[in-house]
Amino acid sequence: MTAEYDSDTTQASTSTTDKPWGGRFSEPTDAFVERFTASVDFDKRLYFHDIQGSMAHATMLAEVGVLTDAEKEQIIAGLTEIREEIEAGAFAWSVKLEDVHMNIEARLTSKIGITGKKLHTGRSRNDQVATDIRLYLRDEIDVICAELSRLQTGLIALAEQEADTIMPGFTHLQTAQPVTFGHHLLAWNEMLERDFGRIQDCRKRVNIMPLGAAALAGTTYPIDRTITAKLLNFTCPSENSLDSVSDRDFAIEFSAAASLLMTHLSRFSEELILWTSAQFNFIDLPDRFCTGSSIMPQKKNPDVPELVRGKTGRVTGHLISLLTLMKAQPLAYNKDNQEDKEPLFDVIDTLKGCLKAYADMVPAIEPKRDSMREAAKRGFSTATDLADYLVVKGMPFRDAHEVVGKAVGYGVQTGKDLSDMTLQELQQFSDIIADDVFDVLTLEGSVNARDHIGGTAPAQVRQAAQRARTKLTART
């Protein structure tokens, strides 16, 4: 969201006394510049974490003797009232006060007087905003991971339910070998499990506290940063003041993890869109996740997967935006960094929305088992099983590959799948083929033969689902 401004008022001015930093300036800020540089329209969502950080900062200042206990209590009481005002919609945000931090500080001073001006002792907006963003992102990561776990829970349950449902597996979008629907769904879960791990790993680097770095060099006040870090549940204070205020790696890293997660959701979406089409007819999505056409009455469009697929580019674009934002910045803080929030906020909002949509939708997927099975019978999906059968009988694999290729060619000409051919038809390609060949040419025989960890045998799918569920349970 970009701050709005009126070009007809660009020559208007405001009093320098409105600015907490106005003492050095000899003329008021141009009104256009005032609105152009303000961030309160979008960073006000940080209010809760800004107040949380300020309360911890005030507590620390009192513990080291910079504030009295009475001043600390007055500040915390005032901040509590301000938080209640904001949550009640009774807080008047001002663009003239530039950002969330100065709006809250100005309101605090108006409520409790000169004591409110003491809150900013030993800190700068540079380390304050860096702390706010980390606190905010840390909480949002926890929400995102909870929603991701909810999606995985539904996915695993559906996979277990469909452990025996046979469908074609594809390479190059061509029929390759039979698999089970449950096995396919657990492939999605593996992607999401990696996503969960990446985001949790990112959280470790988010959870470092920059507060106390001040503008860039630290402060001369006798602060104790370990107190503040403990109060805010940070792992530890940051090590270098210059890096503390200018680092946005954590936002980039989170956006990179989010982009990869969205890429996975986009891949899922592509498959769901294909599977709901009349050409595949593998699944049905409930009406509540679809829309119709304004002109074609028969249409049922998979809008949720299509939108998720489309929103992937949005998140990836924000990652590129943040990388570009940081690529040429010298140490330490620069005004450029104000541009970190809108991309990051939109990544968070978009990812949460897409995860919620999928967590709601996936358990409601209705597989069309007969259509899947019929599709698996097409395309000679058990050809590799026939080749493996010949190898077990003693034929070198390359020779077996050629024999099966000829059998497939015959099937194309006659319109017969391998499993539909008679023993005599198959024996014209190799006389070592016997009656037991039909044990491996059936779809069930094919999937059951892959009975090892990572294989598509229904028994293995159920065991894999149980292992996946155990991992989920261990998170809580």
- As a residue count, the chain comes to 476
Residues 13, 15, 277, 293: which is the catalytic one?
293
- Helix axis angle for 458-474 and 125-161, nearest 10°, is 150
User: Could you give the angle at the alpha carbon of 192 between the alpha carbons of 189 and 193, nearest 5°?
Assistant: 85
Active-site residue, selected from the candidate residues 7, 172, 294, 452 = 172
57 catalytic residue (yes or no): no
Q: E strands of 195-270, at which residues?
A: 208-209, 236-237
CB 71 within 8 A of CB 115: yes
Closest listed residue to residue 107, CA positions, set 91, 123, 120:
91
Is 15 in the active site?
Answer: no
Dig out the tokens for 239 from the structure.
């090590």
- Supply the Cα-derived Rg of the chain in whole angstroms: 31
Residue listed under structure tokens 């204070």: 237
For residue 345, give the H/E element and its range.
helix 341-361
452 HSE (CA, 13 A, CB side): 2
Phi and psi at residue 120, to the nearest 5°: -80, 0
- Check if the beta carbon of residue 265 is closer than 8 Å to that of residue 308: yes
Q: Residue 209 forms beta bridges with which residues?
A: 237
d(CA 55, CA 371): 61
Burial class for 288, CB neighbours closer than 10 Å (0-12, 13-18, 19+): exposed
Residue 304 to residues 154, 185, 285, 290: CA-CA distances in angstroms?
17, 18, 10, 7
Compute CA distances 255 → 117, 137, 317, 319, 336, whole Å: 36, 11, 10, 5, 18
Active-site positions read 172, 293
